[in-house]
Chains A and B, each alone.
Chain A
Amino acid sequence: MNTRFAKSLAKRIGFWSLIAVLLIYAVFPFYYAVITSLKPSSALFQVEYWLSSVDFSNYVTIFTQGSFVQAIINSIVVAVSVVAIALLLGITAAYALGRVRFRGRTTVMMIVLGVSMFPQVAVLSGLFEVIRTLNLYNSPGGLILSYTIFTLPFTVWVLTTFMRQLPQELEEAAIMDGATPWITITKVFLPLMWPAMATTGLLAFIAAWNEFLFALTFTLTNEERTVPVAIALISGGSQHELPWGPIMAASVTVTVPLVILVMIFQRRIVSGLTAGAVKG
């Protein structure tokens, strides 16, 4: 009896220490960034595991100097526009691909999937030319256009998966009443698709918010940069003297909203990710 008790106790201790390791592994880097961002620059080079005092000077620096605020605005403009475009084009395409049987449907699905696998670098020079021809270089428009390359295929794919799961009878009534496909989408499917659209919209938002390569290549001036580029390009007096305090403050500032969103929409994100991959 006693050995069995000891064994189960050991098992439980082992399990909970595993959970503790997992939690530290997942959370510690972010926690450390928060701590660093709340230190005055003089205390930065002293390794500490918790905070002895709170100092907001790094946050004051990034919000008053340079164009970090502008970068946040740019990122919001770009990400929101990309999500709106991807959802609008995505929901109509998903209706066509998910509910209508026609010749060439599989080919279209293949094209969509193929584009989502594109290495971004492979289209860099061609896209650069397109953006310059359209006079969108160094403007949010160029980024909004180029970001559809990874948000649109993903949105179409996931929304099609969700659309297929809805029962057939829904539409039959609408067809009997002589409703046009557009009416069917807006009146029958849209109310049911809101959860799926919220999920895909959120995932597309995160993808657009985090994108780096296009943002780095298609913008030139500080006023047009998005947040990831702005953070990557924060530099100090010399290459070996990076201002870590402000960098961490900027990092925490742009990450906190994402972490909160992920915490709130955890279930939805998981279902969206798995719908995009497992069922796809």
Chain B
Amino acid sequence: MTASNSVATHPPSATRRGRRQGTKVRRQRVRAAWLFLVPMLVTLAMVAGWPLLRTFYFSFTDASLADTGGANFIGFENYLGYYQGAWYGLLTDSAWWQSVWNTLFFSVVSVSLEVVFGIIVALILNAEFKGRMLVRAAVLIPWAIPTIVSAKMWAWMLNDQFGIINHLLMLLGLIDAPLAWTADADLSMWAVIIVDVWKTIPFVALLVLAALQMLPRDCYEAAEVDGIHPIKVFFRVTLPLITPALLVAVIFRLLDALRVFDVIYVLTSNSTSTMTMSIYARQQLVEFQDVGYGSAASTLLFLIIALATVIYLYLGRRQLGGEE
């Protein structure tokens, strides 16, 4: 930069000297940049890169948790094997496929609900009214509460005998008998979704609100002058304009939902009707000590999420290299 700026005002020899000095500074800066990056990259390699490679490796072995070093290579048997006329392995395990289905169902339903309600909440917070800051702070509360705590709070509210939700629903005459929210196989997934949606609406709402506040005011004034109905304005003007921010929020939330663990673990434990891929993998790894089989499940989960990440990177690539 400095060298090219001086071209016009300095004689040629000075330019060359300036350029040489510029390159030296540049080289020094690049060297420093890498020096600064090394500690971070080493840390990430130690906690993410290497463990991930080990998980891939374990998925092809019969490793157990007690002794991960003494594992034997068994090829694809954790995934799929054939012995005496019967197939076995993860891909034939109906519990695994149940957990895949549960994860997808949970992710799609909860993220859809979060987006719809997130937009509604953001629109409310975008209006100008007294005490807006206070309401905005209050809406952040569910986000600030630790997931474990919110799961416990809701477990108590959804308690079948003494829970306030059942009490309220019976008071309103909507149900005749208390519902076993977390124990009933048909209801427990919905209980989990209620809790997750409650906790993450603030996140989606804030992202949408940030996008709403960057919208140009003039086209709204124009729409108002023309007497166009607000709902029409929302679908024709607002929604298209906030779609990029919405997309980011959806993908962030989707990646989070696909790896969900804690809220379900606390609310319904290892129940098969709500078991997700993360819970299935951890159960194999830690409770059954079967590191090989559990790692195979983890590897498949990783591949699914990697696919989603690649899509995200593809969509976000423009922003990534934006300033070059």
Q: A213-B262, A247-B152 are in contact. Are A273 and B206 (CB under 8 A)?
A: yes
Chain B residue with the shortest CB-CB distance to A44 = B162
Taking CB atoms, residues of chain B closer than 8 Å to A126 are 50-55, 58
CB contacts under 8 Å to A, within B83-137, are 121, 124, 127, 129, 133, 135-137
B36's contact among A121, A181, A248, A273, by CB below 8 Å, is which?
Answer: A181
Q: Does A280 count as interface, using CB distance less than 8 angstroms?
A: yes
1/0 contact string of A21-63 vs chain B (CB within 8 Å): 0110111011011001000000011010100000000000000
Known contacts A92-B40, A114-B309, A123-B52; A277/B207 CB under 8 A: yes
Stretch at the interface among B7-15, B217-225, B248-256: B248-256
A120 to chain B, nearest CB (A): 7
Query: Distance (Å) between the CB of A138 and the closest chain B CB?
Result: 14
Known contacts A19-B129, A26-B139; is-contact A278 B43 (Cβ 8 Å): no
Q: Which residues on the A side are within 8 Å of B312 (C-beta)?
A: 117
Counting CB contacts under 8 A, is B164 at the interface?
Answer: yes
Check A270 against B210 for contact (C-beta < 8 Å). yes
Q: Within the complex, what minimum Cβ distance (angstroms) separates A276 from chain B?
A: 9
Check if B144 sits within 8 Å of A258, measured CB to CB: yes
Cβ B207 vs Cβ A273 within 8 A: yes
Contact stretch, chosen from B24-32, B73-81, B184-192, B233-241: B24-32
Which residues on B sit within 8 Å (CB–CB) of A64?
none
A149: interface (CB < 8 Å): yes
Q: Does B65 contact A (CB under 8 A)?
A: yes
Distance (whole angstroms) from the CB of B179 to the closest CB of chain A: 15
Give the residues in chain A near B281, CB-CB below 8 Å: 121, 124
B321 at the A interface (CB under 8 A):
yes
Asked if B58 and A125 make an inter-chain contact with CB atoms under 8 angstroms apart, the answer reads yes
What count of chain B residues pass the 8 Å CB interface test?
Answer: 104
| A124-B285 in contact (CB<8A) | yes
The complex places the Cα of A226 from the Cα of B47 at a distance, in Å, of: 20
Q: Are A258 and B135 in contact (CB under 8 A)?
A: no
Closest-CB distance, B306 to chain A (whole angstroms): 8
Dominant secondary structure of chain A at its interface with chain B: helix
* Residue B305 interfacial (CB < 8 Å): yes
> Does A119 lie within 8 Å of B316, measured CB to CB?
no
Closest residue to B269 on the A side, CB-wise?
A: A239
Say whether B156 contacts A248, CB under 8 Å: yes
A44 to B163 Cα, complex, angstroms? 10
Partner of A125, one of B41, B148, B252, B298: B298
Partner of A232, one of B34, B135, B152: B152
Do residues A259 and B51 form an inter-chain contact, with CB atoms below 8 A? Answer: no
For chain A, which range describes its interface: under 10, 10 to 19, 20 to 34, or 35 or more residues? 35 or more
Separation of A111 and B320 alpha carbons in the complex (Å): 12
Given A18-B124, A92-B36, A122-B55, decide whether A212 and B68 contact each other with a Cβ distance below 8 A: no
**Could you tell me if A93 and B37 are in contact, using CB atoms closer than 8 angstroms?**
yes
- Interface positions, chain B 50-71, Cβ under 8 Å from A, are 50-55, 58, 63, 65, 68
Q: Which residue of B lies closest to A49 (CB)?
A: B164
B145–A30 CB distance below 8 A: yes
| A29 near B44: Cβ-Cβ < 8 Å | no
Contact B30 A119 (CB under 8 A): no
A107 to B142, CA, bound (A): 36
Do B161 and A255 have beta carbons less than 8 Å apart? no
Please list 26 pairs of residues, one from A and one from B, whose beta carbons are closer than 8 Å in the complex, sorted by A's number.
A19-B124, A26-B138, A27-B141, A32-B156, A32-B164, A95-B36, A96-B34, A119-B259, A119-B278, A119-B302, A122-B305, A124-B294, A125-B65, A126-B53, A181-B33, A212-B147, A212-B261, A212-B266, A217-B286, A228-B146, A228-B148, A232-B148, A251-B149, A262-B144, A274-B206, A277-B248
Q: Which A residues are within 8 Å of any B CB, using their own CB?
A: 15, 18-19, 22-23, 25-27, 29-30, 32-33, 36, 44-45, 47, 49, 85, 89-90, 92-93, 95-97, 100-102, 106, 108-115, 117-130, 132, 145-146, 148-149, 152-153, 156, 164, 172, 175-176, 180-182, 206, 209-210, 212-213, 216-217, 227-229, 231-232, 244, 247-248, 251, 254-255, 258-259, 261-263, 266, 269-270, 273-274, 277-280
